Amino acid sequence: MIDIQKIMASPDLRRIGKVILYRPSVTSTNRVLFKMAEAAALQEGDGLAEGTVLIAEEQVAGRGRLNRVWVSPRGKGLWFSVYLCPELPPEKTFLITFMGAVAVAETVNAEFGIHSTIKWPNDVLIQGRKYCGVLTETRVIERKLQFAILGIGMNLNQTEQEITESYGPIATSLRIVLHRPLDMQRLFEAMLLQLDGYYESLLQGEYDRILEKWREYATFLGTEVTIISDDEPHTGVAKDIDENGGIIIQLKDGTERTFYSGDLFL
Ligand code: BTN
């Protein structure tokens, strides 16, 4: 159980986490918050406060990138979404995802003294295995971003056996790495503080602060990777990300190609 009142009372939060909604069980926090945001957009008045967070103990239809299932059992991790309305061109919404991944890596590394890394575009890894994914979903009307829902899922307290049974060999949980169960309250509070700080940077147009941090954690840059995009594998050296968040890969024949979707293998 998380004491949301305690977090909401924090004087250090500016936007993200000033309002937190808690649900024992939802389909998907992204989906529920998206619907709330759509309903608020139709209503007069203040609607939904920017930075509202929806956290659930379990998701029965948690979703990942490329429409994959995100397994979210009760009490085993942090499954939450944040409602944001930044003035951002739609092609720059990747910055919201990058900000989410950076905030996770930074918080976890500072709390536990470990070395999380980021795998393009949105996975946070420890010892090469994924414990966190970030999914941003947006509503764009007439080329204008109306709102974004930033969803973060962190595997915290699953045992090795639970991970093996439900997630497969590329996943892990922080408990497995740290050899002890985690205090979700403390981590959630620290996460929201970090996110709130980075979101302020985003609103101030300090995109480079987010991008520099992202590159710092993206230790795969400069190494050989394979990306499977449109069912085709492409191998080469990951050079950088472009201005819209695409990954630039120098292929074996020396040409450079930028990919905007796909799965990366390190
Ligand atoms: C991915 O790695 O593919 C992204 C996973 C994102 C999971 C989170 S959990 C909270 C929010 N609600 C969802 O249904 N998905 C995101």
User: Of the candidates 117, 148, 137, which has an alpha carbon nearest to the alpha carbon of residue 214?
Assistant: 117
**Burial class (CB within 10 angstroms; exposed 0-12, middle 13-18, buried 19+) of 198:** buried
Write down the mean pLDDT value for the chain.
95
- 176, 158 Cβ separation under 8 angstroms: yes
63 lines ligand 1 (CB under 6 A): yes
Residue 202, pLDDT > 80, answer yes
User: For 147, phi and psi rounded to 5 degrees?
Assistant: -160, 165
C-alpha of residue 70 to centroid of ligand 1, in Å = 6
What is the predicted pLDDT for the residue at 42? 86
Ligand 1 center to 45 CA (angstroms): 30
Ordered domains of the chain (ranges, CATH): 4-217 (3.30.930.10), 224-265 (2.30.30.100)
Residue 216, pLDDT > 80, answer yes
The whole-number average pLDDT for the span 22-41 is 96
C-beta 23 within 6 A of ligand 1 = no
Q: Is 97 in the pocket of ligand 1 (CB under 6 A)?
A: no
How many angstroms separate the alpha carbon of residue 202 from the centre of ligand 1? 21
Rounded CA separation 189/195 (Å): 10
Return the ligand 1 atom nearest residue 72 CA.
9
Q: pLDDT band for 45, please (50, 70, 90 cuts).
A: low
User: Residue 167: its pLDDT value, please?
Assistant: 84
- Cα 205 to ligand 1 centre (Å): 26
